[in-house]
Amino acid sequence: MAVTAQDATPSKGDRTRQRLLEIAVKRFAADGYRRTSVSDIARDAGLTTGGTHWCGVDWLTMESLAHKNIHVLGDATLSAPAMPKSGHMANNQGKLAAAAIIELMNGREPNPHPVIANTCYSFVSDREVIHVASVHRFDPEHKTMVVVPGTSGVSPARSELEATYAWGWAQNIWADTLG
């Protein structure tokens, strides 16, 4: 099949991906693979905002505030107020981003009222567990996520019952995230 000049022109996404790869290769060459972190690469690419090594995002889409068409999830994000960095939060942010990207690719607006949640369990003995949980919703006035009043809480006491919940939570999040 003939390749036209138009076919050969890389898309904006391809160019961005290529740029990130080139920055990563330069970093690996300078510092070595083991000493290079994702935040180093993000910082070199100008993805970090606010003078920090975290990436500011639009909470309706998880799109970088520094670069269009790059969506950032999880621990790399500049957290909203009282938002934990957690696996559960990263998982929810991934779903928020995926849903928003589907809407944007279809020429529609993303959900203007996204809600995400967090739960972290900790074994404090070989049988007993405590948890912390919160629900976060988009605040259109401040363009950030805020904790829904009354949803933030911790276990009143360590318990074996919570160990059952913790294992259930773990099985679900592993299956949901890793397939």
What does the DSSP 8-state code read for residue 62?
T
For residue 37, state whether it binds ligand FAD (rule: CB under 6 A).
Answer: yes
Please state the closest distance from residue 143 (CB atom) to ligand FAD, in A: 22
Asked whether 150 and 96 are in contact (CB, 8 A), the reply is no
Strand partners, 111: none
Q: Which of 121, 134, 136, 144 binds ligand FAD (CB under 6 A)?
A: 121
For residue 117, state whether it binds ligand FAD (rule: CB under 6 A).
Answer: no
What is the chain's percent helix, strand, coil content, to nearest 5? 40, 20, 40
Q: What whole-number distance in Å separates Cα of residue 77 and Cα of residue 17?
A: 19
29 vs 108, which CB is nearer to ligand FAD? 29
For residue 38, state whether it binds ligand FAD (rule: CB under 6 A).
Answer: yes
| Lookup: tokens for 3 | 């390749």
142 vs 167, which CB is nearer to ligand FAD? 167
Q: What whole-number distance in Å separates Cα of residue 131 and Cα of residue 174?
A: 18
Q: What whole-number distance in Å separates Cα of residue 97 and Cα of residue 101?
A: 6
- How many other C-beta atoms are found inside a 10 Å radius of the C-beta of residue 20? 17
For residue 20, state whether it binds ligand FAD (rule: CB under 6 A).
Answer: no
For residue 111, state whether it binds ligand FAD (rule: CB under 6 A).
Answer: no
For residue 87, state whether it binds ligand FAD (rule: CB under 6 A).
Answer: yes
**What contacts 25, CB < 8 A, 6 or more positions away?**
none
For residue 74, state whether it binds ligand FAD (rule: CB under 6 A).
Answer: yes
Q: Which stretch binds ligand FAD (CB under 6 A): 9-17, 56-64, 81-89, 109-117?
A: 81-89
Q: Which of 20, 65, 66, 75 binds ligand FAD (CB under 6 A)?
A: 75
* Site residues for ligand FAD per CB under 6 A: 36-38, 41, 73-76, 85-88, 90, 120-121
